Amino acid sequence: MADNKKLYQTLGVDDTASQQEIESAYQQLIAKYRESDAEYAEIVLAYSVLSDMEKRAVYDVTGKVKGTRHRSNALTNSKKEKIRYTLNTLFLAGAAVTTVLFVLQWSGVSTTPFYWACGVSIIIKLAEYIIRLLP
């Protein structure tokens, strides 16, 4: 067993605590802090690891937390995901408009906006890909 038991100390439970004890300690502690507090993030991290049997087993053996992100990374990733979601929504709307304009052009109506809609959709999708590549 690893000597690192910081997550257990954060929740104030023993390393042999049951799932119910971990849940109870988490509920009591989380009620004391706001989301903006540093302690809040530590409590959430400790609970996310100790409440999952696989993560807890890895933590008990290695003393390391795997598969979780720190709060600061989660916030930036959350913002990127919101931007990507918005861009993808705009792309889908643009694709719908482009489809309608394509059908109109195919039926013989000359529609210059078709080319504009295609260009805007491609630019939006490229922006989404660029954001996906950012760290």
Count Cβ atoms below 10 Å from residue 91 Cβ, excluding itself. 19
Torsion from C-alpha of 78, 82, 88, 92, nearest 10 degrees: 140
Q: What is the pTM of this model?
A: 0.47
CA separation (Å) from 71 to 39, 48, 99, 121?
11, 12, 41, 33
Three-state secondary-structure class, residue 134: coil
Q: What would the two tokens of residue 67 be?
A: 């598969």
pLDDT at position 3 over 60: no
Three-state secondary-structure class, residue 70: coil
Confidence of residue 131 (pLDDT cuts 50, 70, 90): confident
Q: Where are the domains of the chain?
A: 6-62, 75-133
Lowest mean pLDDT segment, chosen from 41-55, 75-89, 118-132: 75-89
Q: What is the pLDDT of residues 25-56, one digit of tens each?
A: 999 888 888 877 788 888 888 898 998 888 88
The CATH code for residues 6-62 is 1.10.287.110
